Amino acid sequence: KVDCVLGKVFFSTGAVPAEMRKLKSGERLFLLLKKSAPLAVSRNKGKILHEIKSLVTEEPKYWLDVVSIWRNFHGHEGKKDEVSQENRSPVKRKSEEETNTATKRQKTEQVRETVCEECQAAERCVVPERKSDQDCCKTSLEDPSKSSGEKPIVNNGQLSFSFRVSCRCSGAIAKMLPSQEIGRAVGIALMKQCGWRADLRDPDLEIFVHLNDIHTVVGIPLFRLPLANREYIKTAGLRSTIAWAMASLAEISAGAFVLDPMCGLGTILLEAAKEWPEAYYWGADISDSQLEGADVNIRTAGLMDKIELLKASVKALPLPSESFDAVISDIPFGKKFKITKDIQLLPDILQEMERVLRVGGTIVLLLSQDLHKCMDGITKCAENDSPNVISDDTSEPAAAKALNVDGNSFSLVNGVEESCLSSRPMCFGSLVPDGVHGVSLGKTDAFIYKYRKISTAGNR
């Protein structure tokens, strides 16, 4: 059974640690301790704190069984996830938001996966099987004589864990109690219930608590480092999870030719080449420093025979028309750039991508919120002219809006869309939308756009 909610996927598995490490689309992997409806919020803080403590005291046997699974898991793992990550220094993505995210990732590696309260990246939670009371007596580390109340549970020191609680709150409960107070309440309950010792700097065990208006989730990170930390990427640019997701949408097949015309440090190409090694990859960028970084990453990953790099402008690629099966790119615009000026380059970029793409091929783009709004205006005439537009459902209202074309332009703050539409006629009749997906980059959201080329450009 798989259960998906915003930012999380819950599933059960019998996979071994090595197999779970192969998951590519999740930032972190957790062993699920608790998943329930959101906590009832009242004006009585004491009552709320009592409900929070009950997350620990309500099912002590189940908690200890899950911790037992965690201990067995790490018995197989040994010290594998404590390998030094000194060579992994994320660099600035070309926006202020990604710069903040990169800084947080660097801190995360140094402090062994400190959970950032603002991070909204995708998480995966493994749901352990609940055992019967009889099985619990056999497998739990709990002393049966102390299974009730809040007395410490000790079994020859086996449960003398050090731990810390990382709490993330949003919605109604965040207005009543700060995350620190909630984390403290959970920590005190664990010390009383289990006899564990708090250690904020280097704990044996971390308890993750996420409270919002949708659900209550408590879990234990299975790995000290995020799954997004790829051992084959020396210097990270775009989040590897986002890069993998983009490549997975491009329908890459054996023998396909794939282009990233704004490749930066090559994260998209690396993720694609690792997952689909039977294809051929090309990366272009106008920046010498970015190409040098991409070359180092490619050599580190051992993909020199799979990925070719060239220096070129995305507006004038020295490549034959209709020569690629897929074009994948992170359009590097953000608050760091002057949106109203540089956003006018978007039509030229799309036109050149359309030119080098073969009929039937796909374009996958990562766009900021501003570019997402502008893209709606750019593709309107193409959508109005194309009767068969394919669209995917999405839970993000803003993402769906990009595909709901009514023929009427809407105004945006700072005149972003007006600057797009007034520069020149922008009709890309050979490209039709094939889905929009909302994703998170940490403090900000972005959108993955997918297009399919249905005919030769200019010959519809």
**68-90: buried (b, 16+ CB within 10 Å) or exposed (e) per residue?**
bbbeebbeebeeebeeeeeebeb
E strands, 201-251, in order: 205-211, 216-221
Q: What are phi and psi of 87, to 5 degrees?
A: -80, 0
What does the block give as tokens for 320?
């034959």
Provide the residue ranges of all domains of the chain, joining segments of one domain with +. Answer: 2-221, 240-453
| Residue 281 three-state SS | strand
Q: Decide which of 3.40.1710.10, 3.30.750.24, 3.50.50.60, 3.40.50.150 is the CATH code for 240-453.
A: 3.40.50.150
Token match 């059960």: residue? Answer: 12
Cβ proximity of 370 and 339 under 8 Å: yes
Angstrom distance (rounded) from CA 417 to CA 152: 62
- Tens place of pLDDT per residue across the chain (460 aa): 788 887 788 988 888 888 888 888 888 899 999 898 998 888 888 899 999 988 888 888 888 888 888 888 776 454 444 433 333 444 433 444 444 444 444 433 333 333 333 334 456 666 665 544 333 323 223 333 333 344 444 443 445 679 999 999 988 999 999 999 999 999 999 898 888 899 999 998 899 999 999 889 999 998 888 888 898 899 888 899 999 999 999 999 999 999 999 999 999 999 999 999 999 999 999 999 999 999 999 999 999 999 999 999 999 999 999 999 999 999 876 544 445 555 677 888 899 999 999 999 999 999 887 777 676 655 554 455 444 433 444 333 333 333 332 333 333 333 444 444 444 444 566 889 999 998 877 777 889 999 999 987 555 4
Contacts of 236 (CB under 8 A, 6+ apart): 88, 89, 90, 91, 102, 105, 230, 265, 267
Q: What are phi and psi of 213, to 5 degrees?
A: -80, -5
- The tens digit of pLDDT for each residue in 397-415 reads 333 333 332 333 333 333 4
- The tens digit of pLDDT for each residue in 133-181 reads 333 323 223 333 333 344 444 443 445 679 999 999 988 999 999 999 9
Class assignment of domain 2-221?
A: alpha beta
- The tens digit of pLDDT for each residue in 348-376 reads 889 999 999 999 999 999 988 777 767 66
Pairing of strands 324-330, 357-367: parallel
pTM of the model: 0.70
Contacts of 88 (CB under 8 A, 6+ apart): 109, 229, 233, 234, 235, 236
Could you tell me which of 392, 393, 375 has the C-alpha nearest to residue 431? 375
Element (H, E) at 126: strand 123-126
Angstrom distance (rounded) from CA 142 to CA 101: 40
Angstrom distance (rounded) from CA 75 to CA 322: 53
Angstrom distance (rounded) from CA 353 to CA 361: 11
